[in-house]
Homo-oligomer: A and B are copies of this chain.
Amino acid sequence: MPDSPEQLDYVSFVDYAIDRVTAGGAAVDPVAMRLVLTLHRVTSALVYDVESGVHRPRGLSWPGFRVLFVLWLAGPLEAKRVAELSGMSRAAVSALVNTLERDGLVSRSRAEHDGRAVTLALTPGGIESITDAYLAHNAREQVWASALTGPEQRTLIGLLQKLMDGPAAESARRRT
């Protein structure tokens, strides 16, 4: 039985909340509730951990890292493609690149064949930065993953992919 409100903490609140809500007897699915709550909490913790431990000390933000990562692997790209591959809006990429350009990590140039488009590319400093940051990033990913056995890791990936293939993710997959 969940604690009383006075002694709850971040973790036990999930149990408490599920208990309270389902006591109402309404059309609430406690398993779906716990799934979403737990998924969101794990991801928040992971992003906070990696961002504050790996990227901020190097002068990067998590979103900045994502843009650098995409450009690092998929070469010079138009801003629109960066937005698609990183899952951000074009406006967000534009704003983010202001910072990355100011810091000398990314360069903007007009696309050859299209006067509207802008081509984004890593500068030498950007390449150096992402190479270093990614090694530390993956090292931290390995610490997170080490909480699970190899087979568990693969099972988790499979279940997350199935979630991404489900009906609810439909709208998100179509977002450009």
Contact = CB atoms under 8 A, between A and B. Distances in A.
Interface of A: 5, 8-11, 13, 16-17, 20-21, 26-29, 31-36, 38-50, 53, 69-70, 73-75, 77, 84-85, 87, 134-135, 138-148, 150, 152-157, 159-169, 171-173, 175
A145 B167 CA distance: 9
A159 B162 contact: no
A47 to B, nearest CB: 7
B10 A168 contact: no
28 contacts: A5-B75, A8-B74, A13-B70, A13-B74, A13-B85, A27-B135, A27-B138, A28-B135, A28-B138, A32-B138, A32-B141, A35-B144, A39-B39, A39-B160, A42-B160, A42-B164, A44-B87, A45-B172, A46-B163, A49-B168, A143-B168, A146-B168, A147-B162, A147-B163, A147-B166, A147-B167, A148-B159, A159-B159
A28 B138 CA distance: 6
A13 B152 CA distance: 23
A149 B143 CA distance: 29
A77 to B, nearest CB: 7
Contacts of A38: 157, 160-161, 164
Nearest to A29: B142
B141 A166 contact: no
Contacts of A21: 73, 134, 138
Given A10-B85, A32-B145, 16 more contacts: A10-B87, A11-B173, A21-B134, A29-B142, A31-B154, A33-B141, A35-B141, A36-B50, A39-B156, A40-B43, A42-B163, A46-B168, A48-B172, A144-B168, A147-B165, A156-B163
